[in-house]
Amino acid sequence: MQAPSSTSRPGTRRPFDYRFEAALRRAAWAWLGARIVSAVAAVAVRHRARRTIRELGILSDRELRDIGLCRAEIEEVAAGSSGAR
């Protein structure tokens, strides 16, 4: 008769292993999720800036002057209004 082995049988795992894997998986998804959220926010900021540039570029020099801008300031204004600094 053999004494019971202190090691687990092949193919079986202790509950601790599953908890560790679950915690590791949650941490990995949280890290990835934060990166995805910041990337999406950056794309949205760039989109707003391009849209502002396009809309202000359509205006005539007189219309720009009426709102206190000149054509050379369009990109700076677009960056400031969209948060793309």
Asked if 53 and 78 count as a contact pair (C-beta separation under 8 A), the reply is yes
Q: How far apart are CA 41 and CA 47, in angstroms?
A: 10
Tell whether the model's pLDDT for residue 3 goes beyond 80. Answer: no
Residue with tokens 């800036």: 49
Asked if 58 and 50 count as a contact pair (C-beta separation under 8 A), the reply is no
Q: How far apart are CA 73 and CA 79, in angstroms?
A: 10
Residue boundaries of the structural domains of the chain: 28-82
Q: What are phi and psi of 31, to 5 degrees?
A: -65, -45
Residue with tokens 């999406």: 40
Task: Give residue 82's pLDDT.
Answer: 63
Asked if 56 and 77 count as a contact pair (C-beta separation under 8 A), the reply is yes
Tell whether the model's pLDDT for residue 10 goes beyond 70. Answer: no
pLDDT above 90 coverage of the chain, percent: 60
pLDDT single digits (tens) 18-53: 888 888 899 999 999 999 999 999 999 999 999 999
